[in-house]
A and B are shown apart, each in its own frame.
Chain A
Amino acid sequence: GNSVTQMEGPVTLSEEAFLTINCTYTATGYPSLFWYVQYPGEGLQLLLKATKADDKGSNKGFEATYRKETTSFHLEKGSVQVSDSAVYFCAPEDSNYQLIWGAGTKLIIKP
């Protein structure tokens, strides 16, 4: 069946460090791929998305590229801030356009 695998957290970095959160998935076809973020005390919100191979989604300095060959959608940011501390979820769609959710990766940024 369809599934998603993310880096286990927490990931702890210092401010201005480079961030990578790995995400790989299994799915039939070529699903759209999403990263959602959940800030402390807030609801889930869409961070970025990519709908076809080689697309790059970007938002708030974060980027992720749809890699069909490796079925991956790794999240990157060049210089993280304390305000980026949150839980990040990689979520591909299944064939019914429903999202597949993993456990998320908690990111802690220290000043």
Chain B
Amino acid sequence: DTGVSQNPRHKITKRGQNVTFRCDPISEHNRLYWYRQTLGQGPEFLTYFQNEAQLEKSRLLSDRFSAERPKGSFSTLEIQRTEQGDSAMYLCASSSPTRGGQNTGELFFGEGSRLTVL
């Protein structure tokens, strides 16, 4: 079990460029979440997948953000036309259902991908 893996760990880009982050969840975890975290704040929910289906997307999420999980395994989060306000840590987490078949709030997080937009 290698845990949740995210890359790149750090990305510095110029305003207006596109960036893509990748998340490899714990194998066989059916749910995958993306969060954003800024300094001194808790994680802000962006979106989540159950297998390959994107079940929820935050209303706060700009249409410049898109996420995919094409085969129900790894996921990518793309930010188009980056803005300085996009600078943050992007967190990925995964979970598996309990024996009762329900996913709970027990999440396994990666170390995050830090984005700096200049």
Contact = CB atoms under 8 A, between A and B. Distances in A.
Contacts of B111: 42-43
B2 interface: no
A46 B106 contact: yes
B105 A43 contact: no
A104 B42 contact: yes
Given A89-B42, A103-B42, A104-B42, A98 B109 contact: no
B107 A46 contact: yes
B112 A93 contact: no
A46 B110 CA distance: 12
Given A43-B111, A43-B112, A44-B91, A98 B43 contact: no
Nearest to A9: B40
A42 B41 CA distance: 15
A84 B115 CA distance: 27
B112 A32 contact: no
B43 A101 contact: yes
A74 interface: no
A83 interface: no
Contacts of B62: none
Nearest to B112: A43
B109 A44 contact: yes
Interface in B26-60: 40-45, 48, 56
A34 B106 contact: yes
Given A46-B108, A93-B105, A101-B42, 14 more contacts: A32-B105, A43-B4, A44-B91, A44-B109, A46-B106, A89-B42, A91-B105, A93-B104, A97-B102, A97-B104, A98-B48, A98-B56, A99-B107, A102-B42
11 contacts: A32-B105, A34-B106, A44-B107, A44-B109, A45-B109, A93-B104, A96-B56, A98-B48, A98-B56, A101-B45, A103-B42
Question: Which 3 A-B pairs give the minimum distances between C-beta atoms?
Answer: A101-B42, A44-B109, A43-B111
Interface of A: 32, 34, 42-46, 49, 51, 89, 91-93, 96-99, 101-104
